[in-house]
Structure 1
Amino acid sequence: MTDVVSTLTSSEVRQTIIRYLLDNVENPSVSITEVIHAVRERFPLCELTDWELGDYIARAAIDAGFAVEFDAEVP
């Protein structure tokens, strides 16, 4: 994966995560697994691992004041 594609993908993924958080703002916590599934639906060819997605999700959710449910499967 090239740097340009990586940066673009990361930006789009982050926007998707933020949109998910905004759409579910009434919930005080966010499930890492649910957001991973939402990102994978939007970007089925996303090359980020679940671990990397989980990191993006946790950082965005914590920054936005959500409690985070670390429920993702870890290999």
Structure 2
Amino acid sequence: MPGEGEEEAVTLSLGSSGPEVRELQRRLEAVWAYHGRINGRFDEEVQEAVARYQSWRYVQDDPEGVYGPTTRRLLEENTPEV
């Protein structure tokens, strides 16, 4: 349960879309995991980039290719505000 003033992070996966996905694409691009268009669509290319990043960081708490809480925390810690 999020604390006061804290937003609950949304899990993103194949088929997700919108500004959260654009931010994810920019963060993945910043760590050289994603080289596609910043279009706000969580497609197979984004899924592969998330899985690649998870592999690099040894993420095991989130399903492969799913931008869940652990993957989000690590990526946000390792990228500037985008």
Name the structure with the higher helix share: 1
Shared fold (TM-score, shorter chain, > 0.5): no
Name the structure with the higher strand share: 1
Provide the TM-score with structure 1 as the length reference: 0.29
- Structure with higher RCO (Cα < 8 A, 6+ apart): 1
